Each structure stands twice: as C-alpha cells, then as structure tokens.
Structure 1
Amino acid sequence: MLSLSGGAARATSVDLAAGGSVTSGQRLTSVAALDVLGTARSWKGIEVQPDMGLSYVAARRYQGGDFDRSVWVAAAGIRLPELWHHMFFSFQLGAATPRTKALSSTQQFVSSLGWSRHGFAILMRHVSNGGTRKPNLGETMLLVGVDMKTP
C-alpha cells in the first residue's frame, strides 16, 4: 500500500494494464500503463480521486522518422471513479520523453474512459499535446488490465 506522510491520502487502487496504440497512419504498437489512485473524496457533490500514472509506448520498427523511439509518459490528475455502472473518466497533465511525431512536445494531456469491476479493467486512453505544437498526432490506446484495490 502506498502511504504518503503529512496526512496525504493512501492509495486505494493500483491499475496495471497493457494493450495497443495507434497514431495517424502508423502501425499498432505495444503499450503498458500503471496508475496509482488515491482515496476518493467528494468535491462539490462529485466523487474525485487523485490519479498518478506512468505509460510506456513501444517504438514502431521500420516506420522511419522518429517513430523508432520508445516513449515514457508520466502524468498526474484526477479520476471520476463512478460515472455510471462502474465506468470512470480521468484527465491528467503529463510529460513525455523522448518526443516523436505522435507525441511532439514534452507537455501532454492524458484522458481515459474506462470500465472496472471485480478486479478487471478495460479503457480507452488518448495522449496528445492538444495542438500546442505541430504535428499533433497523439496516441490512442486500448488497454486491458487488472485493478488491485488495497484495504
């Protein structure tokens, strides 16, 4: 269990997922993601949960350009853990390194829509710089994994 000092929230869930990602006109590549979620709290009548994540996007072989680089994306933001029938949405601000045509700036926006129940999770995730730097191809991922809740 993750515990932070100073009265900060303890982790209530760790999500591990893997899958594939595509970007504009390029082949599918492998991705893996880790999300550590803090204790859900009510804020103005909405349940929110701190969400810190780390994603890995594997290099695309034989693609030319800079698609032959693997990329790491670290991000932090919030999750709305119970939108409707175990569906969730998260939004994070992130940083990517190194840069590629798909993730062409250090700063990134990470948004996810998913479903989690009984330790199983499936989600769509999009990582993009929001047009702050061209090209803005982004990476769109389909991830499947496990949701390990802590007591």
Structure 2
Amino acid sequence: MVSAVPECGGPGDLPAPRIVTDLAHGGRWTSLTAGGREWLWHRDEPRRAGVGPGDPFADAGGLEECVPTVRGTPDHGDAWSRPWRRAGEEESVDCPDFRLTRRVSAGAGRTVVDYRLTAAPGYRFLWAAHALLEVSGRARAVMTGG
C-alpha cells in the first residue's frame, strides 16, 4: 500500500511538502516533494520487495525509519523490513519489543510528522530518520535556529 499526504495551500499559496510512503515494504518514504522538485534519492533494488525480519539491509533509497538501532543488530533496525499498516491518520509497525506509530499532517505550507514509540517501561532505543537526499553539486544546506 502506498500512502500519500496531499499538498495543501499555505502562506503565499506555497504547497506543503508532500510525502509518499510504501507501507507494504517497511513504511519507507519513497517521495518527498517540495518547491517543485523531488528531494529523496532512490533506485531500483530488486531484493527490497522480498525482505523480511533479519534479512540484510536492501537499500532502495528514500527515507528509512531506523529503530531501535541503526548500526546494531538488526542492521538499520527492526522496522524497515516489516509491513506497516494504516488506521485513520496513523501509520504503524509492530516489532517484537515495540510499536512505532507516525502521523503525517499537512497544512499552512508545511508538513509535520509526529512519532510515538510504545514499549515496556525502560525500553532503550535509538531512532533515526535515515534519508538519502537527491542533491546536485551546487546544493547548500542552511539550517536556522528553532
């Protein structure tokens, strides 16, 4: 299942960034468009469609939800190799020790992604949005405070 948040008008009628996810294949963000361009790098990775928990990481690009680890075992975490599901406005994945839920909302020229991890008290984890960006040699990253 592919899920998408529609573009919405905002300040100056700028559309909000649009996110497309592939729930059947690890919930990976397959597209992030804003300002008239695609921001995520991606490629065909034939192994991706058949991966399951414990398989070696199959990099198709986009943005991966790496949790509860990035470099540990399993490589890139537990969520990338499991199917996600959609219930209302939320997308979630059940892993052996936790559930990760995200809600994507768009409006006022911006898109917000909220996350919730549900696990036993004291559960230790690391979460990373592992994004591969499609940039040119002229690209500049500018970040402001706040």
TM-score by length of 1: 0.29
Structure with bigger helix share is: 2
TM-score by length of 2: 0.30
- Whose relative contact order is higher, 1 or 2, with alpha carbons under 8 Å and at least 6 apart? 2
Structure with the bigger percentage of strand = 1
